[in-house]
Chains A and B, each alone.
Chain A
């Protein structure tokens, strides 16, 4: 079993719909959570960063962390065709200083149709 599970998709939604993405994880020590967006043939770019549990909102993006269920989510409101990309979740138990590392999900491919 992978430490971080993420549905590969593709997830197809009409323009303007809410995109709902999630990851489940098995390591209860994870407390730093990130979402990255990766366009085709490009490097991932950081979208959202959350520490511990709770919600965080940034424009059209909302990240949620439920540590009791070991479940994180990313919501994209008013989706646009430019949101079509692969979304990767990532997490770690400790800060990245001193060689600690991120664990990534496999990514969910999202298609927003005009």
Chain B
């Protein structure tokens, strides 16, 4: 069966510091990968998605970037965090060829202070 791992689960970072959130998927090959953000009391906002290694699409102009160095690895980064980057970040995957649903990781809580 497929599993998705996301870390760290919780982090508190000062304004202006860098960020790296990592996500890996096991049990499937060539998945679509996604990064979402869920601000407090708000819905899910798609930040980035990837259909393959090195292929990243950005949905919202922002202070964040994403990379996919390996087939099942997806990384969310920032060079300098802003207070507005605080939120709950979720990695997700879907089957490349025929999937109609996405599956989420456990999420990473980021507080920028």
Contact = CB atoms under 8 A, between A and B. Distances in A.
Contacts of B6: 43
B44 A104 contact: yes
Interface string B52-77: 00000101000000000000000000
A96 B100 contact: yes
A42 B4 CA distance: 13
Interface residues of A, number: 25
B87 interface: no
B9 to A, nearest CB: 9
A44 B1 CA distance: 18
Interface of A: 8, 32, 34, 36, 41-46, 49, 51, 88, 92, 95-99, 101-102, 104-107
Interface of B: 6, 32, 41-44, 46, 49, 51, 57, 59, 88, 90, 92, 94-107, 109
12 contacts: A32-B101, A41-B107, A43-B104, A43-B106, A88-B44, A96-B32, A96-B99, A96-B101, A97-B98, A99-B49, A104-B44, A106-B43
